[in-house]
């Protein structure tokens, strides 16, 4: 592949990655505490879109803080996995093989 063709392919891949990032804004990740008292929804781009807190948690600040940390971290972990898998798939599918750069996608 010539240099111009490779640059065109890189630009095309960059455009697909940007489109995938926009699409990931519409992919929702739901996470909740084991007892269902605290729920969070975030996009695969790790933006929180909704938080639901049971009234009983409002009476115990420390418990609410614990739930917040636990559930938000679990949601971020799930969202990150979805995000990385989607973006890696686009990058691997469309990237031209450049000598010496094949280890970047392993």
pTM, entire model: 0.72
Domain count of the chain? 1
State the pLDDT at residue 99: 56
Q: What is the pLDDT of residue 8?
A: 77
Q: Does residue 83 fall inside a structural domain? A: yes
**Segment-wise mean pLDDT, segments of 10 residues, the chain, 106 residues:** 72 84 92 96 95 95 95 96 87 61 49
Q: What is the pLDDT of residue 97?
A: 55
Query: Domain range holding 22?
Result: 3-98
pLDDT score at 26: 93
Q: What is the pLDDT of residue 87?
A: 84
Residue 103 domain flag = no
11 inside domain = yes
Is residue 31, in this structure, part of any structural domain at all?
yes
**Which helix (H) or strand (E) is 87 found in, with range?**
helix 61-94
pLDDT score recorded for residue 1: 54
Q: Is residue 105 part of a domain?
A: no
Task: Using alpha carbons, select from 54, 49, 51 the residue that is nearest to residue 36.
Answer: 54
CATH number of the domain within which 90 lies: 3.30.1310.10
Return d(Cα 71, Cα 30) in angstroms, integer: 10
Is 82 inside any structural domain? yes
**Torsion 28-32-36-41 (CA) sign:** negative
18 in any annotated domain: yes
**Residue 28: per-residue pLDDT:** 95
Residue 106 lies in a domain: no
């Amino acid at each position: 592949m010539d240099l111009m063709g490779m640059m065109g392919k890189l630009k095309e891949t960059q455009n697909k990655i940007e489109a995938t990032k926009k699409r990931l804004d519409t992919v929702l990740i739901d996470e909740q505490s084991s007892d269902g008292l605290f729920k969070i929804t975030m996009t695969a781009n790790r933006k929180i879109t909704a938080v639901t807190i049971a009234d009983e948690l409002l009476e115990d600040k420390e418990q609410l803080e614990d739930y917040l940390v636990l559930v938000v971290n679990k949601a971020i972990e799930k969202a990150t996995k979805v995000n990385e898998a989607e973006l890696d798939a686009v990058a691997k599918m469309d990237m031209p093989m450049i000598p010496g750069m094949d280890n970047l996608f392993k």
